[in-house]
């Protein structure tokens, strides 16, 4: 007698945390932009919300893997939640003049481009985030958190170095995803995946 494992429901705690992270994005943006981003108490609030959202990223991933709650929805929604949060933070920092727009544009172009590519590639297989993508997300999160927090001016160079590392990882992992997509497409052959 063969036993088949039932796929986990999309409605689970890991995916709920991912959706919570998406819901925290507008709250973060509101706190960050209040008073043109110059009010310390609002910046602290924005940093707390950003940190909480980033922590949910770690928790939802651990829950999904350890409790067998990995779903295709989670594999797609999780990176979207990350990109929404990171994108909102970069745009907010650029709007208040604390991050160059070209950095924001470059990172957002890569993030949106890879997300769109992943959606087009889903018919050939799900392109889950690898270690490089996770390292990129950590680097971006640390850099942004340092820039969002109202820290003394002596810490500013550290924040900018962290941002430079994050941008470098963003570009390198973007190229890696493109290579992964090419391999996935080639391995599927030339037949129609829907057939």
| pTM reported for the whole predicted model | 0.84
Domains in the chain, CATH or no CATH each: 13-185 (1.20.120.1760)
CA proximity to 148, closest of 59, 39, 55, 57: 39
Closest C-alpha among 106, 170, 167 to residue 134? 170
Arithmetic mean of pLDDT, 138-147: 95
- Give the burial class of 43: count Cβ atoms within 10 A of its Cβ; 0-12 exposed, 13-18 middle, 19 or more buried: buried
**pLDDT per residue as tens digits for the range 112-136:** 998 889 888 888 877 766 788 889 9
Average pLDDT over residues 10-25: 91
The rounded percent of the chain whose pLDDT value lies above 70 is 93
The structure tokens 């973060």 sit at: 28
Tens digits of residue pLDDT in 83-99: 899 999 999 999 999 99
Contact 56, 20 (CB under 8 A): yes
């Amino acid at each position: 007698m063969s036993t088949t494992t039932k796929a986990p429901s999309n409605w689970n705690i890991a995916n709920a945390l991912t959706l919570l992270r998406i819901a925290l994005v507008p709250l973060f943006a509101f706190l960050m932009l209040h008073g043109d981003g110059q009010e310390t108490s609002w910046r602290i609030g924005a940093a707390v919300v950003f940190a909480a959202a980033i922590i949910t990223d770690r928790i939802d991933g651990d829950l999904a893997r350890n409790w067998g709650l990995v779903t295709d929805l989670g594999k797609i929604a999780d990176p979207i939640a990350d990109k929404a949060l990171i994108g909102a933070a970069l745009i907010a920092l650029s709007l208040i003049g604390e991050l160059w727009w070209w950095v924001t544009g470059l990172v957002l172009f890569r993030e949106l481009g890879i997300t769109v590519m992943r959606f087009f590639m889903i018919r050939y297989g799900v392109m889950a985030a690898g270690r490089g993508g996770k390292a990129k997300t950590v680097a971006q999160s640390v850099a942004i958190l340092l820039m969002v927090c109202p820290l003394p001016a002596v810490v500013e160079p550290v924040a900018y170095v962290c941002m430079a590392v994050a941008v470098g990882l963003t570009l390198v992992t973007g190229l890696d995803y493109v290579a992964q997509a090419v391999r996935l497409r080639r391995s599927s052959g030339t037949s129609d995946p829907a057939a």
